[in-house]
Amino acid sequence: MDQPTLYQRIADHIRQEILEGRLKPGDRLPTIREQSAVWQCTPGTIQRAYLDLTRQGLVTSRAGRGTYVAGRIEASHVPSQASLRRARLVHRAEAFLLEVLTAGFSRTEIQQAVDLAMDRWRAVQEQPQGASAENTLRFAGSHDLAVTWLSTHFEQVCPGWTLELSFTGSLGGLMALAEGRADLSGSHLFDPESGTYNLPYLRKLFPGRRMALVRLAERSVGLVLAPGNPLGIHTLRDLARSGVRFANRQGGSGTRVWFDQQLERLGIDRSRVQGYADEKATHSEVARAVAEGRADAGLALESAAAAFNLDFQFLVQESYDLVFPAEEAGQGSFAALVGWLGSPAARRALGGLRGYNLDHSGEFQII
């Protein structure tokens, strides 16, 4: 889409001030010369903006006296409160974009930063409650960057539907699903006895109930480290060294379950890990703590390390599944989601995520 010209941006700015009440009926607008100085443009550009506002019925020009806000604005020019609220949000977003683009950040970096910030709020909000809103699937489960992408592009995957996210950890998500507070969950819980992911936990949490699983991806998990790995951290044993500060995931998350299992297997007392109680709700928050120097290491996805330009020491490839009741498998939105995950379109969309293996994405089973 073409960018608006300067006169259109000037007209939009003045229109916003009128509709939000900062400019009131009868107020005199700055002269063309004054506006030219403010916007650093030619008088002709201001004249075009004023003419555009006149055609919209928002201002009137009085020969020799200037331009004034119209005394009565037609109802067709006044948006609903919902529309005006959305317009204000867009205006603030555009101001933010202008600031960060001017600072030299790329559009890809900006989109990634916004997604990471949104993930933090999805992790701290309350778990889904009550019934689904119309054409909305409630997701509760483990934090995942591919799930974040799905949420913002769900209309492409399931036309007419939205995906509402709450990052509660794998166990929290499965509990929300079992209690009817979520329609869909995301889990990567490893069972050391069977050497498999998720299936043993589903049999325990959903006894006698048939559940469906669809593979989202295999994900690379490891140690997230400062650039250059200045402390020489390479294994989980290094986390017990004196002076190494660790950023942990929250209890109930699949990453935390796996980490605790590994500490027990290696015979490492949790008290020897400085920062074990420093819990983060998402992989992104772990990486952010390392990036800001609040921790020397954390356990997180390779994609989270890449988002913050951090070093990554691979430890394990885990299986991440989407879980929902088997009776929903034939329903439109669930069927569309399962079908899309196994399609070339999914591999094109998610293939850019660092550390994601999509070879088995879309594989479906009912237990």
Q: Is the pLDDT of residue 87 over 60?
A: no
- Segment 58-71 shows an average pLDDT of 85
Residue 245 or residue 135, greater confidence: 245
Number of residues assigned to the chain = 367
Mean pLDDT of the chain: 87
Element at 97 (helix H, strand E): helix 81-102
Between the CA of residue 365 and those of 7, 83, 198, 326, 339, what are the distances in Å?
A: 58, 44, 12, 9, 13
Same domain, 134 and 72: no
pLDDT number for residue 197: 94
CATH number, domain containing residue 163? 3.40.190.290
The pTM score is 0.69
Q: Is the pLDDT of residue 126 over 90?
A: no
Q: Is the pLDDT of residue 277 over 70?
A: yes
Tokens of 74: 């037609």
Rounded Cα distance, 166 and 183, in Å: 11
Q: Give one DSSP letter per residue of 193-246, joined into a string.
A: TTTEESHHHHHHHSTT--EEEEEEEEEEEEEEE-TT-TT---SGGGGGSTT--E
Same domain, 75 and 115: no
Same domain, 254 and 300: yes
* Pairing of the two strands 279-280 and 196-197: unpaired
pLDDT per residue as tens digits for the range 161-197: 999 999 999 999 999 999 999 999 999 999 999 999 9
- Segment 133-139 shows an average pLDDT of 85
pLDDT number for residue 4: 62
Q: Is the pLDDT of residue 314 over 90?
A: yes
Same domain, 39 and 132: no
Rounded Cα distance, 303 and 148, in Å: 13
Same domain, 141 and 25: no
In this structure, is residue 1 part of a structural domain? no
In this structure, is residue 268 part of a structural domain? yes
Range scoring the smallest mean pLDDT among 50-59, 74-83, 102-111: 74-83
pLDDT classification of 2: cutoffs 50, 70, 90: very low
pLDDT per residue as tens digits for the range 344-355: 999 999 998 999
Same domain, 195 and 343: yes
CATH number, domain containing residue 31? 1.10.10.10
- Residues in contact with 187: Cβ distance below 8 Å, sequence separation at least 6, in sequence order: 141, 142, 170, 173, 174, 197, 198, 201, 254, 320, 321, 323
pLDDT number for residue 44: 92
Same domain, 190 and 294: yes
pLDDT number for residue 83: 46
pLDDT number for residue 55: 83
In this structure, is residue 203 part of a structural domain? yes
Query: Minimal CA–CA distance to 298: which of 321, 330, 275, 318?
Result: 275
pLDDT per residue as tens digits for the range 108-122: 777 777 777 777 666
Domain count of the fold of the chain: 2
Residue 7 or residue 74, greater confidence: 7
Strands (E), the chain: 59-62, 66-69, 136-141, 162-167, 184-187, 190-191, 196-197, 211-225, 246-249, 279-280, 297-301, 311-325, 356-357, 364-366
- Segment 139-160 shows an average pLDDT of 92
Rounded Cα distance, 134 and 112, in Å: 29
In this structure, is residue 317 part of a structural domain? yes
Same domain, 154 and 27: no
Rounded Cα distance, 151 and 164, in Å: 7
In this structure, is residue 238 part of a structural domain? yes
Tokens of 152: 């913002």
Query: Minimal CA–CA distance to 84: which of 4, 172, 153, 16?
Result: 16
Range scoring the smallest mean pLDDT among 49-58, 86-95, 272-281: 86-95
Rounded Cα distance, 247 and 263, in Å: 15
Rounded Cα distance, 111 and 97, in Å: 10
Rounded Cα distance, 211 and 257, in Å: 22
pLDDT number for residue 125: 53
Are 320 and 139 within 8 A, CB to CB? no
Range scoring the smallest mean pLDDT among 33-37, 178-182, 251-255, 329-333: 329-333
Same domain, 258 and 126: yes
Domain enclosing residue 74, as ranges = 6-80
Q: Is the pLDDT of residue 107 over 90?
A: no
pLDDT number for residue 332: 80
Residue 23 or residue 235, greater confidence: 235
pLDDT number for residue 82: 52
In this structure, is residue 349 part of a structural domain? yes
Same domain, 119 and 246: yes
Same domain, 68 and 144: no
Same domain, 71 and 140: no
In this structure, is residue 172 part of a structural domain? yes
3-state secondary structure of 1: coil
Between the CA of residue 300 and those of 20, 72, 291, 305, 356, what are the distances in Å?
A: 45, 58, 13, 7, 13
Rg (CA), the chain: 26
Are 220 and 335 within 8 A, CB to CB? no
Rounded Cα distance, 317 and 334, in Å: 26
In this structure, is residue 85 part of a structural domain? no
Q: Examine the fold and report which residue of 62, 80, 98 is the final residue of a domain before the chain moves on.
A: 80
